[in-house]
Amino acid sequence: MKSKRRYPLLMRFVVWICLPLAAALWFGYDHLRGSLPQTGSEVSVSGLKAKLTMTRDDKGVPYVRAASDMDAYFALGYLHAQDRLWQLDISRRLAQGRLSEVLGRKALPEDIWMRTLDLYGSAQSAWPALSEPARASLQAYADGINAYLGEKRTLPPEFLLLGVEPQPWQPIDSLAWFKVFSLSQSDSMHTEAMRYVARKYLPSSQWALLERDYPADAPVTSEALPVMQGIARTAKRLESELAMGGRYVGSNAWAIAGAHTADGSPMLANDPHMALQMPSRWYVAHLSAPGFSVSGMSVVGLPNIVFGRNDHIAWGGTNMMADTQDLYVLDTDPDRPNYYKADGRWQALDVRQEEIRVKNDFPAELRKPLEPVRIQLRRSRLGPVVSDALHAVDRTVSLRWPGLDAGDTSYEGIFRLSYAKNWQDFNLALGLIVAPAINVVYADANNNIGYVGAGRIPKRRTGDGTLPVPAADPRYDWHGYIPFAEMPRAFNPPSGFVVSANNKMTSQDYPHFISRDWAPPARAERITAMIDSAIKSQGKIRLEDVEKMQGDVKDLEAKALSDHLLGLLPGPAAAGLAARQLRAWDGSMAQGQASAAVFNLWFKSLKQRMLLDRFKNVADNSDQIEVLRDYVAGVTPLQIKR
């Protein structure tokens, strides 16, 4: 007699479906777990002169103890590769213009833009200008990355999913990535392009509201409109997809002298200017060796602590908002399109051809080898022809930016900050920075505080770079840069503190032009008010006071506009619930603040009614509306209030 089997279908499902699936999931989990960082305390790998230790605190921050500073840079490269290998690979591809090889056609515009700027070629020209120790640090960092790659560990899942193998890291890769970092902090060409489009379509009354100090006789080359729209759209794409740039992203730094602190030592706080992204470009680390100790924020792809402290000084930075990029409209020869007029004669553009390999986006069964995309890249004496990246045919436009100058020593300056021992060393290091233009706040172990503006800012013969200018007119040439000795700076100011929040850092009698695009002063005013309040209320500032200041979410600018608008409301509206709540509001943007939500909706609607609604009647197409919308998005409460 046959035994009666129970649940035959269930058993088959378990045996043939569930168990294999569970086994596959476990195998996949166990395999990918091998790509996670190894946290052993002692490391000995090929390329190190001696063993080193790497420990982590409860937040995962690594502490490196090495036999030499170069071994410490090697260790940071190893750590970056261990923790952020995919980020390293994508960063390098972005700098080289090779994203399309792994991301397909959607990344082609970014690749063409980066190839046009030729950041990698500019980085190669910077290498000979660096000192031997600076070059050695880049080599040690690259050796650390490559040592990790040489261990043939399990790759992060992004590599497996896209079928990519990471290639050895080269020192020039770091310099090129530093160029991308600098570019993301140098946004004036995009502001210039948006301002150009808005200037063409805004009625004079609205233009006066937003750009009230703009000179009426500044050049406006209307024929370059499509190019400027393209540059503005490129900026938006880079910001939304690659977290590069952005208007008023916001960075804050301040230093307080020991006379105002509870323990008598100076305090320095910093919130660097970078868009939010995951993972962050920042990587916290502490590097030490005999005679060398530095900690703070490194940037993945670079061996340095960019903002941080050593045993002698501490430093932090904010974006200066300087206008360091100019767009030049070239007059080209109709019969010879690769010739342009400059210095009263026709000059030839430098022309080269490049190919971009593009991954096929189609499913495997439809996949066919793609032909490389061939592009023509041109350069004038002023800089790269950026209009070529936009396939623009109406006008030829070049970009001039100090970050593309040959012999850029910016990396040297950042490298030397880690070794600075005093105010003099600090200034000598910052004097080497070319791009980006940054404010750097300072404090030292001898109870000094200060601030220095660093980076090359052009001196223009005519105009201020607010709008594109004709390249053939020599009046718009640059004649050098603001001498570093004449850059803004302060040392032990009478107030006992310095504050930088992308605001204007110079007085009215400062002799050089830096920018018309300073961030509104509200954040700097708020920080200053909190420091003053803490000093007056308790005499001394404590660490917890600084922590509270860094977490502050009060917007004085929004509060001022809200009060101004409430005073304009007619009687019934002024007596409503929303108006009463806004009167009691202190400007806090904390989560759950109903009044903050009401204000922001009100402000958005106000900008729509005052500005964008008018654009609908004057803009010719959706591209212009998009650019104008982005321009208006940057309008601040202060501009509306005035």
Give bridge partners of residue 295 from the DSSP assignment.
286, 309
Cβ–Cβ < 8 Å for 311, 452: no
pLDDT at residue number 410? 98
Q: How far apart are the first and last CA of the chain?
A: 98
Q: How far is CA 114 from the centre of its chain?
A: 15
Residue, of 514 and 639, whose pLDDT is higher: 514
Q: If you average pLDDT over residues 608-634, what whole number do you get?
A: 69
Cβ–Cβ < 8 Å for 578, 601: no
pLDDT at residue number 196? 85
Q: Is 22 exposed, middle or buried (0-12, 13-18, 19+ CB in 10 A)?
A: exposed
pLDDT at residue number 222? 46
Going by pLDDT thresholds of 50, 70 and 90, the confidence category of residue 34 is low
pLDDT at residue number 221? 47
Q: If you average pLDDT over residues 540-551, what whole number do you get?
A: 94
Sort strands 62-65 and 282-289 into parallel, antiparallel or unpaired.
parallel
Q: Which residue has the tokens 């008010």?
A: 529
pLDDT at residue number 133? 98
Is 35's pLDDT higher than 70? no
Q: Where are the beta strands (DSSP E) in 40-199?
A: 42-43, 52-56, 62-65
pLDDT, tens only, 347-377: 999 999 999 999 887 765 556 667 899 999 9
pLDDT at residue number 97? 96
In 513-593, alpha helices (H): 522-538, 543-550, 556-566, 571-574, 577-584
pLDDT at residue number 47? 65
Lowest mean pLDDT: which of 168-182, 493-507, 628-642? 628-642
The secondary structure of 364-423 as a DSSP string is: GGG--PPPPEEEEEEE-SSSBBGGGGGT--S-EEEEE-GGGSTT--HHHHHHHHTT--SH
Cross-sheet strand order for the sheet of 336-342: 332-333, 336-342, 345-348
Q: Which two tokens stand for residue 277?
A: 């992204």
* Sign of the alpha-carbon dihedral angle for 470, 475, 479, 482: negative
Q: How far apart are CA 96 and CA 399, in angstroms?
A: 19
pLDDT at residue number 13? 63
Going by pLDDT thresholds of 50, 70 and 90, the confidence category of residue 1 is very low
Q: Is 389 exposed, middle or buried (0-12, 13-18, 19+ CB in 10 A)?
A: buried
Q: If you average pLDDT over residues 600-625, what whole number do you get?
A: 73
Residue, of 438 and 203, whose pLDDT is higher: 438
Lowest mean pLDDT: which of 13-27, 31-45, 453-467, 594-608? 31-45
Going by pLDDT thresholds of 50, 70 and 90, the confidence category of residue 229 is confident
- Give the contacts of 200 (CB within 8 A, at least 6 positions apart): 220, 222, 225
- Identify the three-state secondary structure at position 441: strand
Q: Which residue has the tokens 């390329």?
A: 47
Is 84's pLDDT higher than 70? yes
Cβ–Cβ < 8 Å for 518, 636: no
Q: If you average pLDDT over residues 283-292, what whole number do you get?
A: 96
Q: Which two tokens stand for residue 381?
A: 């004496």
- Identify the three-state secondary structure at position 490: strand
pLDDT, tens only, 546-605: 999 999 999 989 999 999 999 888 887 777 888 999 999 999 999 888 999 999 999 888
Closest CA to 597 of 581, 608, 609, 580: 581
